[in-house]
A = this chain, B = another copy of it.
């Protein structure tokens, strides 16, 4: 079904307040979920709300926490997230980083003990719109097997890069698995096979059965090179945030554990370069206009698809699972336990 985005944001926010969140924290967390839904990433959308509420109810989320900041040195911020909402802790840290990068050129924050960040594009796009370059990394439960391996040993370890460019910032946001576990669950739900190369089953054998893959592991994207990048993120985040490594990570998918993954933001204040924004815009336009392999599929820039889906969703309404919407609406009308759906990276 389709609902109005503002209505969805309002409902999500009201539910978060009902479960104990301060109003502006609820609004930010709700905005994250709705923005992911708008761009066609339901696995990072409202599907996660019941799990967040469940975690709040169990005391696994401290909805008032802003994160405790320690400036390790002039440009390095270490954040104990105090089990706050991922977006609240991250946006609070980012605001500090942007201020500091304006003085020192570059700043970095390692964040531990914060809840799930949601869609990384949200953060880097915001800062890039203010003229900052941002690199963002996060870790997760072990879901991805090493290149040539059979066992989930790495997180889906997403990265995002935002770079100011006219007319709108360049925003890359990707996980380092070939596909998300969400896509595997979607296929399992619809009884559809998955291509060989997406995932292994529990015993480490290639499988086309999505249900078998759910209990197995995802392939790293880009073979050995993609595995290398996922592993680098694993080590980078742990080294700077003091967070757990994938096999020990808990609390981004479940409702039983505190979150112990890590997040990392690097903010860079680029030196002024006359015409740079125009030069980048021209180059990106040239890429889009460059000859495509299939005439019906023009070359795109990362983020194009999400922006197209966002525009359409804002115009025609937000696509959302009818049961999920009914369950959320019902919970607000008459507070009661909400049916929790599985969440996955």
Contact = CB atoms under 8 A, between A and B. Distances in A.
Interface of A: 72-76, 78, 103-108, 110, 133, 146-151, 153, 161, 163-165, 170, 172, 174, 176, 204, 221-229, 231-232, 234-236, 238-240, 242, 245, 247, 266, 268-271, 273, 276, 279-280, 283, 286-287, 290-294, 297-302
A239 B299 contact: no
B148 A242 contact: no
B106 A270 contact: no
Given A153-B290, A225-B221, A229-B172, A239 B75 contact: no
Contact of A222 (B133, B226, B231, B276): B226
A105 B273 contact: no
A78 to B, nearest CB: 6
9 contacts: A75-B107, A76-B106, A149-B287, A150-B293, A174-B225, A221-B223, A221-B225, A224-B302, A239-B280
A240 B292 contact: no
Contact of A221 (B105, B222, B232): B222
Contacts of A283: 234-235, 245, 247
A228 B302 contact: yes
Contacts of A239: 133, 163-164, 270, 273, 276, 280
B266 A106 contact: yes
Contacts of A170: 231-232, 235
A236 B280 contact: no
Contact of A228 (B74, B172, B280): B172
Contacts of A174: 225, 228-229
Contacts of A150: 290-293
Nearest to A203: B291
Contacts of A266: 106, 266
Given A148-B298, A149-B292, A170-B231, 19 more contacts: A73-B269, A74-B74, A74-B75, A74-B103, A74-B105, A75-B105, A76-B268, A104-B104, A106-B106, A151-B291, A161-B236, A163-B236, A231-B287, A231-B301, A235-B280, A238-B276, A239-B270, A240-B271, A245-B283
Contacts of A294: 148
Contacts of A110: 271
B153 A286 contact: yes
